[in-house]
Chain A
């Protein structure tokens, strides 16, 4: 359904105020992946990794600088209009709707733009409102909607024309936990209805719970691909030790990284304290050695656990 081969995208811009110099930014550096029919495929990566640029090339809003991509067997450069008829695109955030108008006005307009015939429009709008749980609120102006409601309206807009493939670009960003859970249910419903979905997100648990397969993208390259279970297993046969500490300096972190069996050390700043997430390979118990290297540092809670997808993700992204 979706196929990207050595896809690249470079942005050309300028830098400097008086003497402007050309600047090239490589956002996507030759990525290759495929998505099967009915699959929910996740593109996981940090900000600026190239997720949105990849989606924009696939939905024909950006031309690739090199490589090729096909959606539903159609070329994203030459068959743009045909692809647009058969795909849906939803992005996260507050924007993308006519705020001063009602949800119904918005949906009617986009139904017209997506070629939903006059007779089918009312029925289809009712169906999508029901699917996203906005039935009864459609006459209200969008400016009065909560972020979660707007996001559900975005999804309704994106699937009005019953597309075969749906692209969801960080659809739960900024949505409260209850709203995000409802959105994830809506996304699951889309897949259950037979849609092929490409989802970008940086929420690990979201990717873990929703996606059939995931590609981890960092600095414009795919650094890992597989099912959530494969990714977790592929990165670790070991364990994760979390150490709460106060005032850890770079030298101490370097010492931890040099310990035999330590594969990665990630430092998360949490107010006055830091959380050291240490990934180790094999089954060897390293807690005592780790604490010895932190001699002189005030240490709080220490815990050891199984690796999660987030650990796999951090290991892949930081290894780049």
Chain B
């Protein structure tokens, strides 16, 4: 394993463990999506607009992952600042992207609990059939969607290194991203001008890959698009972090005071 991958993996495991040890984080990750799921099931059951209840269940599950990331990614950087860890992390000789990416991806990873609780909720309360067309591809599509959301969170989180109040920005993006990426409503129902924006967002393709793997359809193209865009986000975050780290050293925003 190269050093970069090892640092990423060690960081991911540490932060996943740290977040999983937080009762608040776990309760939020498991229960919050149930509200979305219940609303989605009732909406879709009433209108018969969606192909199936499983379609709604998967959308609600991925919404849960995004909500956790949007609200917690900024909070996580701020938390590192509160705990006095952000300065130590920046003072390490490792590139900042390898320090921060595991944090946001681990937060998105906590969303896996959302997927499990949502599907179980749907099955037990609404009788949602949990038949998956391509189980193997589904097993690949879920982590790809998690990764894409985590890396989108990283692009947003990179600003938190220098701007202490930037987390309000990511929280404000919570609802628009649900809508634009087709997590709740099919993209075909939205105005045409939104489509190019949706295509530029990796979670759109991650969501599509998950749904196609579960309900049938081409998984390869959305999966590749999701991974390709995730790689582009990584590059963008690298550039932003390089710039913001210098700015943070100049403006003294790494610590609380």
Contact = CB atoms under 8 A, between A and B. Distances in A.
Interface stretch (B187-195, B210-218, B249-257): B249-257
B51 interface: no
Nearest to B11: A109
B249 A62 contact: yes
B83 interface: yes
B84 A113 contact: no
A60 interface: yes
Nearest to B98: A113
Given A61-B254, A95-B83, A97-B85, A110 B18 contact: no
A109 B16 CA distance: 13
Interface string A21-60: 0000000000000000000000000000000000010011
A113 B252 contact: no
Given A98-B18, A105-B17, A114 B88 contact: no
Interface residues of A, number: 32
Contacts of A61: 87, 90-91, 249, 254
A112 B6 contact: yes
A98 B83 CA distance: 8
Contact of A96 (B83, B93, B250): B83
A122 interface: no
Nearest to B8: A112
Question: Would you list the 10 A-B pairs with minimal beta carbon distance, nearest first?
Answer: A95-B84, A84-B93, A113-B92, A100-B21, A85-B93, A96-B84, A112-B10, A109-B14, A63-B249, A113-B94
B250 A110 contact: no
Interface of B: 3, 6-7, 10-11, 14, 17-18, 21-22, 82-85, 87-94, 99, 246, 249-252, 254
Contact of B21 (A89, A93, A101, A114): A101
Contacts of B94: 112-115
A131 to B, nearest CB: 19
Contacts of A110: 88, 92
A40 B82 CA distance: 30
B252 A62 contact: yes
Contact of A105 (B14, B83, B88, B90): B14
A93 B84 contact: yes
Contacts of B21: 100-101
A118 interface: yes
Given A62-B252, A96-B85, A105-B17, A112 B93 contact: no
Given A61-B90, A101-B21, A109-B14, A115 B84 contact: no
Given A61-B249, A115-B3, A98 B90 contact: no
A157 B88 CA distance: 10
A61 B81 CA distance: 13
Contact of A81 (B84, B89, B93): B93
19 contacts: A60-B91, A61-B90, A61-B249, A62-B252, A81-B93, A82-B93, A91-B84, A95-B82, A96-B83, A96-B84, A96-B88, A98-B14, A101-B14, A105-B17, A110-B88, A112-B6, A112-B94, A113-B92, A115-B3
A108 interface: yes
A108 B10 contact: yes
A219 B64 CA distance: 51
Given A84-B92, A84-B93, A96-B83, A112 B249 contact: no
A252 B18 CA distance: 59
B182 to A, nearest CB: 36
Contacts of B10: 108-109, 112
A115 B93 contact: yes
A118 B10 CA distance: 11
